[in-house]
Amino acid sequence: MVDLAQIKEHMEVVGSDGEHVGTVDHIEGDTRIKLTRSDPTSGGEHHYLPASLITSVEGDRLRLSCPAAEARADRDKEIPAGESTS
């Protein structure tokens, strides 16, 4: 697993295909990435991805273990019931 301490605010998140997924807002605990709602792909809402998807930190970019389309389709699926994405 990647050292989550390396992950900083405003890093770009890309899929395994190199396509843009979002922009890091911050890491919540050691389990998930909160993406900014100001990113053009966010639809004006915060989204979440499991930290377990991170395969590497490359400069100012996080690379995921799945393609961008899959990551975008699956974001927010692991949010506990009752939590808001905004």
**pLDDT tens per residue, range 1-25:** 688 899 999 999 999 999 999 999 9
User: Domains of the chain, with CATH numbers?
Assistant: 4-74 (2.30.30.240)
What is the per-residue pLDDT across 49-81, written as a single tens digit (0 to 9) for each? Answer: 999 999 999 999 999 999 999 999 988 866 554
Of 56, 76, 73, 74, which is closest to residue 65 (Cα–Cα)? 56
pTM (2 d.p.): 0.86
Q: How far is CA 54 from CA 29, 41, 43, 85, in A?
A: 14, 19, 22, 20
